[in-house]
Structure 1
């Protein structure tokens, strides 16, 4: 039982590190794309406001929520593996 608890704790820590890394990486990519789009188009809004609005929309988007799959997918894979090994 202690081994299972240690496995769950280590997996959760690794998932959290991966989630934070993916979140920062994805947000920086979105920021770079927004800055590039602002520089290509002659927009009446200043760059900081344009990027801030774009990142606000990004924070509420589906893409941002899909990163939570970092927590869900490994547990589903482990559950399926346990089921297949024990019951098939």
Structure 2
């Protein structure tokens, strides 16, 4: 019992590290795309305000919420494996 709890705790820690790493990476990629788009279009005005508005839109997007799959997918896979092994 304690072995399984320790395994689940380690999995949760690894998932949290992966979630933060993916979040930071995804946000930096979005920032780079916004800055590149600004430079290619030759826009005038405040570039930093444009990038911040774009990142705010990104923070509320569905794509950002998909990163939460880092938590959901492994637990569903573990549950499915347990069910298949024990009941099929």
CA distance in 2, matches of 1:22, 1:45: 31
CA distance in 2, matches of 1:82, 1:28: 37
- Give 4+ residue runs of structure 1 displaced > 6 Å after superposition: none
> How large is the Cα RMSD of the aligned pairs?
0.7
TM-score (norm 1): 0.97
CA distance in 2, matches of 1:53, 1:45: 13
Displacement of 1:63 in angstroms is 0.5
Where do 1:1-88 residues align within 5 Å?
Answer: 1-88=1-88
Displacement of 1:46 in angstroms is 1.3
- 1:37-57 per-residue CA deviation (whole Å, 9 max, x = no partner) reads 000113233110110000000
Aligned residue pairs total 88
Q: Which runs of 5+ in 1 are unaligned?
A: none
Q: Which runs of 5+ in 2 are unaligned?
A: none
> Alignment partner of 2:43: what SS?
coil
